[in-house]
Homo-oligomer: A and B are copies of this chain.
């Protein structure tokens, strides 16, 4: 690539100092600079197709105007939808975003954080994986501005934007019970992460509050590594035997996708054979034979708030902001009332 044009080139061409060029191009000290000179500088900059070297500027100003975003997997619609919202929000403030996928792996997440900090990102938005608590504590110790999304560590006093997972899980199970279902299974990811445990807790609490006995075998935790096979196995188990479950609650979009595919391949009729509630609303759900009752996360709100909080933390004080948003239970046909089902 040819040498790029610099402030110096413009300065020489116009016959002024780089100082002046810098001021003009940054619209600073406008009242102190002769109109004609400013005009001329702009013209030449345009003519030479000048483009600020943001790297040099960053070195001097100690700001890169870039945010680091660490998601679980950018290919997952949950992550990529959030990424899009964050991109737009960052862009409105002239920030760009560098992203990385942690694959729920703390080593990867540590490496990503390190890479992003070397690149001097002004701040981080992180959906932390399991066992990343110490990494996050480190960030805090180093006074790096950051905000967690989706997940957080209750023992750590950090900024985050998340859901009241327990409440919405509770309401989903509540709804199933109200619809006449009693034997309700849960398929969730095996995870030590707080948000996943909260979803489980909501499920258990609702059953308990309705004095429904819980059959431990109705609660299935599938390992991250083999979600597909294990989800299918879990469904098989839950439907086998003399007391098959009547309803199933999937606690995230991955489990839900594999689960629904399997339910379809088993040619089960939803909700007649099995009622369904899913966590996360995704495009894919719309193609399922029965409209699926799901928990809709306020993605826009999460992305916007996270970016806003982060930018505030970058600009000013490092106050801690913790946001717990409400998710919405979107009721559709897959949880139609047991009675209603018979009528149909």
Contacts and interface: CB of A to CB of B under 8 A. Distances in A.
A205 to B, nearest CB: 30
Contacts of A84: 73-75, 101
A53 B91 CA distance: 24
A55 interface: yes
A288 interface: yes
A289 B260 CA distance: 11
B51 A118 contact: yes
Contacts of A28: none
Which of A96, A116, A261 has the largest number of chain B CB atoms within 10 A?
A: A96
Interface in A68-117: 73-77, 79-81, 83-84, 87, 91, 96-101, 114-117
A287 B292 CA distance: 11
A49 B286 CA distance: 49
Interface string A13-25: 0000000000000
A264 interface: yes
A337 interface: no
A266 interface: no
Contacts of A101: 84, 87
Which of A49, A144, A284 has the largest number of chain B CB atoms within 10 A?
A: A284
Contacts of A2: 142-143
Nearest to A95: B115
Nearest to A285: B287
A51 B117 contact: yes
B53 A120 contact: yes
Interface string A114-155: 111111100000000000000000000011110000000000
Contact of A66 (B52, B83, B119): B119
Contacts of A143: 1-2
A145 B1 CA distance: 8
A117 B5 CA distance: 13
Given A283-B257, A287-B284, A83 B87 contact: no
Interface in A1-15: 1-2
A144 B98 CA distance: 20
A56 interface: yes
Contact of A97 (B56, B77, B99): B99
29 contacts: A1-B144, A2-B143, A51-B118, A53-B59, A55-B58, A66-B98, A74-B83, A74-B84, A74-B87, A75-B77, A75-B80, A75-B83, A75-B84, A77-B77, A79-B80, A84-B101, A87-B99, A87-B100, A87-B101, A96-B98, A96-B119, A97-B98, A97-B99, A98-B98, A99-B99, A257-B286, A261-B286, A264-B289, A284-B286
